[in-house]
Amino acid sequence: MELDHLAVAAATLEEAVAHVEDSLGVPMQPGGSHAVFGTHNRLLGLADGLYMEAIAIDPAATPQRTPRWFDMDRRQGPARITNWICRCDDLVTALENAPKGAGDIVDLQRGDLRWQMAVPADGILPFDNMFPALMQWHSPHPAAQLVQQGCRLRHLTLSHPEGDALSAALPLRDDRVSVQIGPAGFEAEFDTPHGRRVLR
């Protein structure tokens, strides 16, 4: 199990992109649309094979499945990090070891990209969406296709009132990821061309 990418969501894709670009001081590049859930995104390549996506509901699309992934139908407030995603080599086994409610496997594609992701029936991941969305790639990883902008994830902090239980349930151990007790939310620290920046 490995950290794959971070998702920043907002009411519109423009708001999500502006939040990332203003926070990190670098431009995002085109992504695409997700027909199954009626969403669209833009992407930012990060060092170490990671990336970030800005994602929002596509007002021009009719989703094939609802509720949407990442609890997007209930999303409120300003743009922010709403989810983190972990990839694995065997999604079936990963789900057997995950907390109840981590999701059912959905086949997805965008252009040449093919992957499976565990999506809960109600769109809400365990621990108030602080548990990672689990996925398995069936095509080359998209990070290799992204232009590097000189950004590297230094640390991702997860906060939740049941931080100890969340930490015990996590499917990976990564020195860049830590869990604390507090209101549910994310804080990501990056090295950028403009120095150290924080994205929430």
Q: Give the residue from 116, 142, 96 showing the smallest Cα distance to 36.
A: 116
Give the pair of three-digit tokens for residue 77.
């407030």
Model confidence at 118, pLDDT cuts 50, 70, 90, reads very high
What are the extents of the domains in the chain? 2-148
Q: Output the CATH code of domain 2-148.
A: 3.10.180.10
Place of tokens 């990821």: 177
Torsional sign, CA 72, 15, 78, 54: positive
pLDDT exceeds 90 at position 171: no
**Residue 79, number of CB atoms within 10 A of its CB:** 25
Mean pLDDT across 77-95: 97
pLDDT for residue 62: 96
Residue 172 has pLDDT above 90, yes or no: no
Q: Are strands 177-181 and 152-160 parallel, antiparallel or unpaired?
A: parallel
CA gap 34, 175 in Å, rounded: 31
Count CB atoms within 10 A of the CB of residue 132: 28
pLDDT band at 173 (very low <50, low <70, confident <90, very high): confident
Higher-confidence residue of 115 and 110: namely 115
Q: What is the pLDDT of residue 25?
A: 98
Summarised one tens digit per residue, pLDDT across range 94-113 is 999 999 999 999 999 988 99
Other beta carbons within 10 angstroms of residue 34's beta carbon come to 20
Q: What angle do CA 160, 141, 87 make, to 5 degrees?
A: 35
From the number of C-beta atoms within 10 Å of its C-beta (0-12, 13-18, 19+), residue 62 rates as exposed
Mean predicted confidence (pLDDT) in 15-31: 98
Question: Pairing between strand 51-57 and 39-45?
Answer: antiparallel
182 and 161 Cβ atoms separated by less than 8 Å: yes
Residue-wise DSSP of 37-91:
TTEEEEEEE-STT-EEEEEEE-TT---SSSSPGGGGGG--SS-EEEEEEEE-S-H
pTM: predicted TM-score of the whole model, two decimal places: 0.95
- Torsion angles phi and psi, residue 138, rounded to 5: -125, 25
Q: For position 39, what pLDDT does the model report?
A: 97
Q: What is the mean pLDDT of residues 184-199?
A: 98
